[in-house]
Structure 1
Amino acid sequence: MLSLPFSAAGTSPVGWALTIAAAIAYAIPALAARRMQEAGARICLRLAWALHALTLAWAWLGEMPRFGFAPALSITAWLVLTVYAVEQQLYPQLRSRLLLAALGSMAVLLAALFPGTPLHVDASPWLPLHLALGIASYGLFAAAVVHAALMNRAERQMRHGGSQDGGLPLLTLERLTFRFVGAGFALLTATLAAGWLFGEQLYGKAWVWNHKSVFSLLSWLTFAVLLVGRERFGWRGQSAVRVLYAGAILLLLAYAGSRFVMEVLLGRAA
């Protein structure tokens, strides 16, 4: 059984109202993807994005701030939607609203069900910046994974002689994917360096070798190998995407996975 401190008991009625509204707004274009016009689906996604932002703001500003694996995933999903909104202005032919709408709906509901643990009032004032760096790297790598999935779809369509459904050209998707990988790698490097050098000031203890730090370093090494392989040996296509997926899984296990085990399976703070 889940203990109340880590369950939906931490979400207020206002938080639930915002969550349900955002989830419904996300679900509409996801469930009616084939029947909705592009303009209507775009409006629903923008409304869902705004409601999702209000949900995150309420969790951080309107109540006692809490954090955990589900809020981290929720913020990550919101950042991916933000990237998508910006990209659609530059590349109107980009098509991934079904995937992102489903992702947003699940993420916002998960964060309400598992709002995490309260942040300590005596925590370092630099802790929010450190968390922001880590979550931003999550968001950029998640955007890279989404683009890699679109790249795989475009490659399959080309292999079978079909059209790309009005999506971006394969080379453009590949270029965008590795731009996100490079930006995410830079933020991940800064996050790990801050934890290594200032762990005692941030968390009250120096760097500890545990599953979280090991998975984080393994993901960093995987992304480093991917970028070096891309630069020196021209890695591309399925081989590069597999390495990207491996690094993303390791990064997911590093924080969200470990917090899920501590909060949900073990029922205590991480």
Structure 2
Amino acid sequence: MPLLSAAFAHPAAAALAAGAACAYGALAGWHTRVTQPQARAILSAAWVLHLLVLITSLLTHPVRFGFGPAISITAWLLLTVYLVESRLYPQMRARWVLAVMGMAAVLVALVFPGSHYPQLPSHWMPLHWALGIAAYGLIAAAVVHAWLMQRAEKAMRLGKMPETAMPILTLERLTFRFVGAGFVLLSATLLAGAWFSEMINQQVVWNHKTAFSVLSWASMGVLLLGRWRLGWRGRTAVRMLYISAGFLLLSYVGSRFVLEVVLQRA
């Protein structure tokens, strides 16, 4: 019951979230029966509603944040990347997956809106959050591109690769561009986190979130180094990316999920 009361504490945000979830759900259910322009229009409407949900939630006082809003913002950033890329590469097809992810993310953030932050320990703390969420979004985009690359490779081996499909080499190049950009942002996030921790606690605090973040950063660095020096590609590179993304997911989202849901603590 506390979760439900928190979810509907702000009726405007709840109504927008319901609208965004319905738009995502409509596309997920009808993606095989709508034309490309219709699918893009539905996805764009869901994107706008999702953005309004985020703006409404972040403008509430006191500010709430947690694993639910983090997942929701990450999904919105991922959808933004797809909408831009689908203009550049019309053959890219991931609408159904993104629609399901978007619907799930909006509903998770609605039910688990996070903890109250009546007073932030530093005015620069939102910058740390923004860097971290941006890193989440870029690495999530890399994971989706890697999944599309694996699916294309499987179709090619089975002789079912359509002529209009996106070239595998293009997907691979885009994957590593997102990995590189995500690594840079994750590095900035760790540096900002260490600075804030030392400024507030007079020392760098090591916990589960920090440990998993460093593991993600290190494994991503190994992936980029292996790609540069050893030419890693295919399954080896994709598995390394999945491991790094898994560590990153466990860092903030995983630790906050345990605190907010399992332990029922802020």
Name the Cα RMSD after superposition: 1.4
Give TM-score scaled by structure 2 length: 0.96
Query: Using a 3 Å threshold, how does the CA distance of structure 1 residues 63 and 166 change in structure 2: closer, same or farther?
Result: farther
Residue in structure 2 matched with residue 95 of structure 1 by the alignment: 93
Which one of 221, 224, 238 corresponds to residue 224 of structure 1? 221
Letter of the 2:6 counterpart: G
AA at the equivalent of 1:216? S
Report the AA paired with residue 196 of structure 2: F
One of 115, 118, 122 as aligned partner of 1:117 = 115
- The Cα of 1:39 is off from its aligned counterpart by 1.1
Matched residue SS, 1:58: helix
- Once the two structures are aligned, what percentage of the paired residues are identical? 55
Which residue, out of 238, 248, 254, partners 1:241?
A: 238
Counterpart pick for 1:251 among 222, 240, 248: 248
Structure 1 residues 61-96: Cα deviation after superposition (integer angstroms, max 9, x where no partner): 144321000100000000000000111111111110
Partner of residue 35, structure 2: 37
Matched residue count: 264
Q: Which residue of 2 aligns with 1:264?
A: 261
Measure the CA separation in 1 of the matches of 2:143 and 2:87.
20
Range with greater deviation from structure 2 (114-123 or 12-21): 114-123
Q: Report the equivalent of 1:166.
A: 164
User: What residue in structure 1 maps to residue 53 of structure 2?
Assistant: 55
CA distance in 1, matches of 2:192, 2:156: 44
**CA shift digits 1:100-153 (9 cap, x unpaired):** 000000000100000000123243110111100000000000000000000000
SS at match of 1:235: coil
Task: Choose which of 117, 121, 128 in structure 2 pairs with 1:130.
Answer: 128
Cα deviations by residue, 1:163-194 (Å, 9 ceiling, x for unpaired): 24733110000000000000000000001011
Q: Which amino acid aligns with 1:230?
A: R
Question: Is 2:6 aligned against 1:10?
Answer: yes
Residue identity in the other structure for 1:211? H
Specify every segment of 5 or more residues in structure 1 that has no aligned partner in the other structure, as ranges: none
Compared CA separation, residues 151 and 268, structure 1 to 2 (3 A): same
TM-score, normalization: structure 1? Answer: 0.94
